[in-house]
Structure 1
Amino acid sequence: MPKRWLPLEANPEVMNAFARHLGLSDDFAFHDIYGFDDELLDFVPQPCVAVLLLFPITPATEAIEGEPKPETSSSGEPWFARQTVGNACGTMGVLHAALNGAGATKPGSYFEQLRARCEGLDADARAKIIESDDALETAHVGASVEGQSEVPREDAEVDLHFVALVEANGGIWELDGRKPTGPAYHGPSSDKGLLRDCVPVIKKFMNAANGSIHFNAIALAANLG
């Protein structure tokens, strides 16, 4: 039977405590994104090195695809691992955000040790390392019981899902560990910065959700505290 964990709450405080335990740099923190107009985006500190998007799983959101990958993408795609643990999308989002955010991890930290263990492995082999990592599971369980929401059962069906949006090799990428095709390319990055470059991608998911309000966006950005 596939392994299942408790879901991680879409809460920057919970994610910051979890990520600090794994070795997030003191220079970065997770922040709420309150909206996608320029005035609200300005509340997010810069630089922003990743965005986590929580969205409802529907046939329409499942059908969203990226653009054709650039010919040079194979050598410049972001760090990516498959998700084989049920309800672990929040942890996978944190891993994908931290390991692709420039300067976001402390030297010698769990994040960097995981990167070293996964060096040269494909996404499926990385998934096996993550699934069998007792230290990561313990940290996830500790984080999953924090926050303000009622903790669901491990076997509960959760219809919300996290993905990470990051910049790599001059492009914007969606990292969803459930997708066997790997990172999805969503076009070139611009001088507007990652946060604003992610807005069209986020709106694809919002438009596909038929008016659902079950969305949350969290930025991994500069820590002002």
Structure 2
Amino acid sequence: MSGGWNTIESDAGVFTHLLEGLGAKGVQFEELVSLDADSLHSLSPIYGVIFLFKWVSSKATDNKPEDGTFDTEAAENIFFAQQVIQNACGTQALLSVLLNIPDVDIGAPLREFKDFTIAFPPDLRGETLSNSDLIRSVHNSFARASPFIDETQRTSTDSDDVYHFIAYTSVNGILYELDGLAPAPISHGACLPTELPDKVVPVLQRRINRYPEGEIHFNLLAMIRDPRIRAKEIGDVETLHIEERKRREWVWENSLRRHNFVGFVGDLTKGVVKAKQAEGDDSYKSWIEGGKKKSEQRMKVLRAASMKEA
């Protein structure tokens, strides 16, 4: 395999443009700000959800997960790939939903990939996925540029916060948890596609409840039908306008993500310092001293507020 896989943000705009970059049509992602079935139902039809969480050591074994049951035979009938490299879990979770929804146009490249890997075991599917130039290049096109971190050389330590993406979707009447780090798909019982909001929320709540109280590092994205399709069908001009504006904002935000502004900020800072120095030593020193005084004042306010809270 040539090249590494960079980390990507859990963001609806990022994941929607990942879908489009891979060739899928008529689908997008929405971020959920509350975990309740009504919120999910309001987005129907919903194809699946992608859950981001802080990874912690699990009590699961190769024979039994912490919740649900392993369905070792399911991988023969659904798309499930084991994660074999670091940082690919976001795109892998996306594909775990997308490639298991028969009524979505996934595009020719992904259709060929799915047909090619259909008879592979999960580990070989993961290897094939990680070696796909198309999937890796689209994934990396939405990674935040950084001059400091080479993700191909990155290793985690005990003090690092490691985050992981997994997918939940209804396939063949079963609610499956598709985690590339698990040995097999995890079944959470019977679930028709229309029942997904009602069935997946309790599963997610049980998972969140396994974390210490106060843990807030979770994010949930729902893969849904592109709302613009329905808006055009019923002539809902207002919704169509809102969704088109959202898409334009996503394009702008993603263009910013592709650029590293560290050099720009550094040059700007140098320019400001040079201008201040040109005004004279006294001007430059007074500028520095003014900044120090403002910082000290902010710290005093913060200390006073913390003492009141205590």
TM-score for both structures, normalised by structure 1: 0.84
> Is the Cα contact below 8 Å between 1:80 and 1:123 reproduced in 2?
yes
Larger RCO (alpha carbons 8 Å, 6+ apart): 1
Say whether 1:216 aligns with 2:214: no
Contact 2:37 2:201 in 1 (8 A): no
Query: Quick one: distance in 1 between partners of 2:84 and 2:94?
Result: 15
Q: Kindly tell me: are residues 168 and 133 of structure 1, through their superposed partners in 2, closer, same or farther at Cα, counting changes over 3 Å?
A: same
Aligned residues: CA RMSD: 2.9
Equivalent pairs: percent with the same residue? 25
- Contact 1:170–1:189 (Cα < 8 Å) also in 2: yes
Residue aligning to 1:67 = 68
Query: In structure 2, how many angstroms separate the alpha carbons of the residues matched to 1:69 and 1:87?
Result: 24
* 1:177 and 2:175 matched: no
Amino acid at match of 2:226: N
Q: Deviations over 1:100-152 (max 9, x none)?
A: 123223342x2212101102111111112112112221111101228xx9996
Tell me which residue corresponds to 2:123: 124
Native 8 Å contact 1:18 1:139 kept in 2:
yes
Q: Choose between structure 1 and 2: higher helix proportion.
A: 2
Q: CA distance change for structure 1 residues 39 and 170 in 2, over 3 Å: closer, same or farther?
A: closer
Provide the residue aligned with 1:187 in structure 2.
189
Q: Structure 1: how far apart are the matches of 2:178 and 2:201?
A: 15
Which deviates the most, 86-95 or 185-194? Answer: 185-194
> Residue deviations 1:181-207, cap 9 Å, x none?
x10111111585212211111112210
Distance 1:55 1:150, change over 3 A: farther
| Residue in 2 that maps onto 1:133 | 132
Rounded Cα–Cα distance in structure 2 between residues aligned with 1:38 and 1:50: 13
What is the SS of the residue equivalent to 2:189? strand
Counterpart Cα distance in 2 of 1:191 and 1:112: 22
4+ residue runs over 6 A deviation: none
The answer to whether the 8 A contact 1:25-1:103 is kept is: no
Moved more, 184-193 or 171-180: 184-193
- The equivalent of 1:105 in structure 2 is 105
Q: Hey, what's the Cα distance between the residues in 1 that align with 2:216 and 2:4?
A: 26
d(CA) in 2 for partners of 1:214, 1:65 = 20
Asked if the contact 1:190/1:197 (under 8 Å) is kept, the reply is: no
Measured in 2, the distance between the counterparts of 1:223 and 1:126 equals: 28
Could you tell me how far apart the structure 2 residues matched to 1:160 and 1:60 are?
14
Long gaps (5+) in structure 2: 229-310
Unaligned runs of at least 5 residues, structure 1: none
1:57 aligns with 2:55: yes
* Residue in 2 that maps onto 1:165: 168
TM-score (norm 2): 0.63
Judged with a 3 Å threshold, the aligned counterparts in structure 2 of structure 1 residues 179 and 136 are, in CA distance, closer, same or farther, namely: same
Paired with 1:209 and 1:60, the residues of 2 have a C-alpha distance of: 11
Letter in 2 for 1:14: V
**What SS does structure 2 have at the residue aligned with 1:143?**
coil
Q: Which whole-Å CA distance do the structure 2 matches of 1:159 and 1:165 have between them? A: 20
The one-letter code sitting in structure 1 at the alignment partner of 2:216 is I
| Bigger-Rg structure (1/2) | 2
